[in-house]
């Protein structure tokens, strides 16, 4: 009978689609991971993976085993939670996936406050400019700007946030005030690389009839750098403005965008009290921090 450790390794290989990726998650070398897989395949008497240049893919038998292994994993997590109790200090590791704007400018303050209240808790933030894959356990929960329509997940709206055009004060002094939307045609624009936009909600400029930008990146932090250094005019999150006092919002009456943050979790994880408590603290913290940061914006005299 294979032991639970073999199943843990099996789950990591299935999610990472390679021995090396599983090894990084489990902090073991690929050879050790391979031995676990060989032992598990020998125990069940069937091949669980096929190897190709693209990595390890589940066989039919492996796909059948995956569901059972995930349910066993869930049962273990629920058992640990039951022993730990629901009212005390949170502990253990929780990984949060997020879009880079939230990860860079909101989550640091939120996570620092949570771990101050729960010293035994380890929070990891994975910032990716794409959809976090919860089914492969890239994270325990994700902050998204677009609620997924498929998959075994739960979705909870956290809060709205707002965006406006902004430019550095030195840029505006050099190139002149921007009086109306038509005047943008005479300015350098900053935005996303069009074919790398993962969420339709982040395609800010197409709806305004703008198809070309002079400076582009797939990351919010890089776009902000372009704008701060006088590269041009770009759509900027209101909650980022307090971090960039050299910027000034423009065209606030003509263009005001509203988007939302959503918490996305694997449906089975809603039964895990520890993760639910972390999710509650994270969502409450994000809503409060976005409101605090947006409340600091003051119009120029």
Q: Residue 139: which CATH number?
A: 3.40.190.10
Q: Does 38 lie in the same domain as 25?
A: yes
Question: Residue 58: inside a domain, yes or no?
Answer: yes
Q: Does 170 lie in the same domain as 45?
A: no
Cβ neighbours for 188, distance < 8 A, ≥ 6 positions apart: 213, 214, 215, 231, 232, 233
Q: Does 281 lie in the same domain as 154?
A: yes
Work out the widest C-alpha separation in the chain, in whole angstroms: 76
What is the reported pLDDT for 83? 54
Q: Does 147 lie in the same domain as 277?
A: yes
What is the reported pLDDT for 171? 95
Q: Does 168 lie in the same domain as 48?
A: no
Interatomic CA distance for residues 63 and 135, integer angstroms: 13
Contact 229, 168 (CB under 8 A): yes
For the question of whether the overall pTM of this predicted structure is more than 0.85, the answer is no
Q: Does 264 lie in the same domain as 249?
A: no
Q: Does 166 lie in the same domain as 153?
A: no
Beta strands in the chain (DSSP E): 49-52, 55-58, 92-98, 121-127, 141-144, 153-168, 189-192, 215-217, 233-237, 247-250, 257-266
Question: Residue 20: inside a domain, yes or no?
Answer: yes
Number of domains forming the structure of the chain: 3
Query: Which residues of the chain have a pLDDT value below 50?
Result: 85
Question: Residue 301: inside a domain, yes or no?
Answer: no
Question: Residue 299: inside a domain, yes or no?
Answer: no
Contact 134, 264 (CB under 8 A): yes
Q: Does 232 lie in the same domain as 189?
A: yes
Residue 267 lies in domain: 92-159+260-294
What is the reported pLDDT for 84? 52
Q: Does 224 lie in the same domain as 171?
A: yes
Token pair for 231: 């590269």
Q: Does 99 lie in the same domain as 78?
A: no
Q: Does 73 lie in the same domain as 213?
A: no
Question: Residue 300: inside a domain, yes or no?
Answer: no
């Amino acid at each position: 009978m294979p032991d639970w450790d073999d199943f843990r390794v099996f789950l990591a290989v299935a999610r990472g689609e390679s021995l090396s990726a599983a090894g990084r998650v489990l902090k073991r070398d690929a050879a050790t991971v391979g031995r676990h897989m060989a032992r598990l395949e020998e125990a069940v008497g069937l091949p669980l993976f096929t190897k190709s240049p693209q990595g390890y893919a589940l066989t039919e038998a492996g796909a059948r085993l995956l569901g059972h292994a995930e349910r066993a994993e869930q049962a273990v997590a629920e058992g640990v939670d039951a022993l730990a109790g629901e009212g005390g200090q949170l502990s253990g590791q929780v990984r949060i996936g997020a879009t880079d704007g939230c990860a860079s400018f909101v989550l640091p303050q939120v996570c620092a406050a949570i771990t101050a209240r729960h010293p035994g808790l380890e929070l990891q933030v994975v910032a990716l400019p794409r959809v976090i894959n919860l089914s492969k356990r890239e994270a325990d929960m994700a902050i998204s700007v677009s609620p997924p329509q498929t998959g075994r997940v739960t979705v909870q709206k956290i809060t709205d946030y707002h965006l406006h055009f902004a430019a550095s004060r030195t840029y505006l002094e050099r190139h002149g005030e921007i009086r109306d939307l038509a005047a943008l045609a005479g300015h350098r624009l900053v935005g996303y690389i069009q074919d790398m936009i993962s969420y339709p909600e982040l395609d800010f400029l197409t709806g305004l009839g703008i198809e070309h930008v002079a400076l582009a990146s797939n990351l919010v932090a890089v776009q902000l750098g372009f704008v701060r250094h006088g590269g041009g005019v770009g759509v900027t999150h209101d909650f980022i403005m307090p971090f960039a006092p050299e910027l000034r919002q423009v065209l606030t009456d003509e263009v005001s965008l509203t988007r939302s943050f959503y918490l996305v979790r694997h449906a089975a994880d809603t039964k895990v009290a520890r993760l639910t408590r972390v999710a509650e603290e994270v969502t409450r913290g994000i809503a409060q921090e976005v409101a605090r940061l947006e409340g600091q914006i003051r119009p120029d005299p």
